[in-house]
Every structure is written in C-alpha cells, then in structure tokens.
Structure 1
Amino acid sequence: MGAILTIIFFTTFWAAVARVGPRMMSKAPQQDLVRCCFLLAAVCCWLFWFCCYLAQLNPLIGPKLNQNTVKIIAKSWDNPLVG
C-alpha cells in the first residue's frame, strides 16, 4: 500500500509542476515554447523517477554461482586470497 501512495504522491507533484510552472511565467512571445519546456521537463523527471522507483521495488538478482565457479573466477583474476 505504501508503494501505491508514493507513486500517487509523486505523480501528483509532477502534474502540479506541469500545470503551475507555465502559469508562473510572464506573458512573452515565446510563451508556448516555455509551456512546452515545462511540460516536457515534468514528464521526463516523472518518468525517470518512476523507472528508478520501480527498479528498486523489483531489483534484478544476479546468477547464483556455486563455490567451485567462484574459486575458478577468483583464480583467473589473480585473487591472492584464494588458495
């Protein structure tokens, strides 16, 4: 339940940045460009955060090696701790 609330909170935050950010800018000839930049920045920041958050929720687990394989790798890498 905590993960869902976190996702909802940050989605709301970045949606607010996308909605409120352009309104804080003064009227200018390039207002559409500024609005587009705010929207793209908010979407990209949210997407980056979302991908990182999901990667932490379900981390990739490396292969499980047996003891003989670990010794062979350590010996081939000239590890002095392996006898």
Structure 2
Amino acid sequence: MNYTYLTTDELSTLIKYDPRTIRDQLKDSVLLEGRHYFRPFGGRKILYIWEHIQEDMAKSISAAVMQIPLSAGGAIHV
C-alpha cells in the first residue's frame, strides 16, 4: 500500500491545527508513534502517515454520532 507522508507543517494545513498544537498536544497523546507517525532513519524529523490519521479521525466521528449525551453527564451509546 502506498502511504502519504507529511511533515508537521503539511499536516497542520490539512487538519487545520497549528503546527505547535500538533507537536505539543496531539503528538504522543492522540497521534501515536508507529501508528500515526515515525522518525525515518532514527532521526529527529517526524513524518506523519496521512491515511492512518484520516482513518482514526473518521472512527472518532462515527463514535461521537453513536451516543446520546445525558444531562447529568455521561452518554448512552446507541
């Protein structure tokens, strides 16, 4: 399978997040090394795998649609 590899700046234009937010908040909490990004040749540069990010973003959207929020907090999963 052919993957699209993106730098942090390229990813930021596609998902509309500031590059600093991607590096400081999303990387290693939402975007995981080995799944969403890797460091080629063991270096410092990070390349993101666009297809994996798209797939996981779509999963989170469908999961959010499948629940009904409750007034006291929590949700009912449909």
TM-score under structure 2 length normalisation: 0.33
Give the number of the structure whose residues are more often strand, by fraction: 2
For the pair shown, which has the larger CA radius of gyration, 1 or 2?
1
Give the number of the structure whose residues are more often helix, by fraction: 1
